[in-house]
Amino acid sequence: MTGTSVVLAVAAGGAIGAVARWLIERGTIGLLDAEPVATLLVNIVGCLLIGVLVARVLGGALRWPLARPFLGVGVLGGFTTFSAYSADAVVLARDASPVVAGAYLVGTLALCLAAVWIGGRLGRVRGVSA
């Protein structure tokens, strides 16, 4: 595995993840406040999938050497976004209220941590693949 192949894997995966995130954001237009809903959704799904991926890689079930760079760093790195989460919280604090912003921050963190844990559990089950 060369450095070039890793860079290409990350780039290809990042393009896929970023487009998937954009499609979800476009699909949530009209639902409450679209940006926080899309960000919450992609971060929970991304955390679930990273949990599955880590469990599969560490458990030896996923032996492709580019799995982590392509899927973890690329696809899921391009898909999820901490910066949008943070920006959404600032906008909610300004436009809604600090209580709503705080609930969004704490709720997203709790749901994403739970999603990583559940994904890790799913990744350890035989027959479940990332």
130 falls in which pLDDT band (50, 70, 90)?
A: very low
Q: Which of 112, 51, 42 lies closest to 79 in space, CA to CA?
A: 42
For 30-72, the pLDDT digits (tens) are 666 567 888 888 899 999 998 898 888 878 888 889 998 999 8
Model-level pTM? 0.75
For 7-36, the pLDDT digits (tens) are 999 999 999 999 999 888 888 776 665 678
For 79-125, the pLDDT digits (tens) are 998 877 888 898 899 889 999 999 999 999 999 999 999 999 998 86
Higher pLDDT, 130 or 6: 6
